[in-house]
Structure 1
Amino acid sequence: MPANDISFNLMDRPWIPVTMTDGSFLQLSIKEAFAQANEIRSIDGDIPLQRFALCRLLLAIIYGTFGHLRGSGITDWKTLFNDGVETRNACDALMDYCDYYRNRFDLFDDTAPFYQVAGLHTAKNEVSGLERLVLDVPNG
């Protein structure tokens, strides 16, 4: 755990908004999203761009896990897609990948926060909020 004792690891903590096949709305962690993939109707978000980004993140993990299929034909990828998490080997491989790279997915890690730069500040040692970075956050 980080020295500041604050942790939010995207692999384990629910944060991905989804609609399940039974119509319920949940938030799932990355690992839960893979484990329950057959029960998810849609990945949600406030705007379409968020849904796209979440799908791309999950797809990147799938590519990382099954990178050995890159040189394979379309048939191998179709088999993986059709079998999905029903295949225990596929689910186990995804969970192993997630566990192996878990340390890279903590938002508040002191040295390597997920998709951020630790200690980022201006030359005057000032820190800005998200409104400077996220397009759909109001800024004055």
Structure 2
Amino acid sequence: MEHDLELPAYNLLDEPWIPVRDRCGNVVDISLTEALLNGRDYAAIAETSPPNLIALYRLLLAVLHRALTTQYGAWRDQDRADWFRNGLPEQAITAYLELWRDRFWLFHPTAPEAVK
């Protein structure tokens, strides 16, 4: 007998799960999308476990790197200078996240948690 269990909906792009410290010192949880698009608005990642902190940085860097190389290919020094001065290219990040949105469901029946 087969049971169809409905899995809970939890998308890492939309749900707040990354602990950060805002500019006033408060700890709040934000989504992966918020972290990538508005990271400059926060003082730091507020994870207290070193292995978890490293894992968060690695995830953020991997997704950001993939989003930017998908859009720009190789980066020029001028690109990096522009991103530092003006912020990261929101359109490139958003396009990448939307392209792979289905891979960021934590509980997905066939492709959970950013697995290709």
Could you say which structure has the greater relative contact order, defined with CA pairs below 8 angstroms and 6 or more residues apart? 2
Unmatched runs of 5 consecutive residues or more in structure 2 = none
Q: Hey, what's the Cα distance between the residues in 2 that align with 1:7 and 1:16? A: 17
Deviation at 1:78, TM superposition (A): 2.9
Q: Hey, what's the Cα distance between the residues in 2 that align with 1:100 and 1:70? A: 17
1:9 is paired with a residue whose SS is coil
Deviation at 1:13, TM superposition (A): 0.4
- Could you say which residue in structure 2 is the equivalent of 1:7? 9
> Which AA in structure 1 matches 2:66?
G
Matched, 1:93 2:95: no
TM-score normalised over the length of structure 1: 0.69
> Which AA in structure 2 matches 1:31?
T
Superposed CA deviations along residues 20-41 of structure 1, whole A, max 9, x for unmatched, are: 1121111001111123212110
Contact 1:15/1:29 (CA < 8 Å) preserved in 2? Answer: yes
- Could you say which residue in structure 2 is the equivalent of 1:57? 59
Matched, 1:19 2:21: yes
Unmatched runs of 5 consecutive residues or more in structure 1 = 117-140
Aligned length in residues: 110
- Could you say which residue in structure 2 is the equivalent of 1:43? 45
Deviation at 1:47, TM superposition (A): 1.0
Deviation at 1:56, TM superposition (A): 1.5
Q: Hey, what's the Cα distance between the residues in 1 that align with 2:82 and 2:58? A: 20
> Which AA in structure 1 matches 2:90?
C
Of 61-70 and 8-17, deviating more is 61-70
1:45 is paired with a residue whose SS is coil
> Which AA in structure 1 matches 2:9?
S
Superposed CA deviations along residues 55-101 of structure 1, whole A, max 9, x for unmatched, are: 1111112111110545333332232233214xxxx112212211111
Q: Hey, what's the Cα distance between the residues in 2 that align with 1:111 and 1:31? A: 22
From 79, 84, 87, give the equivalent of 1:81. Answer: 84
Q: Hey, what's the Cα distance between the residues in 1 that align with 2:30 and 2:36? A: 9
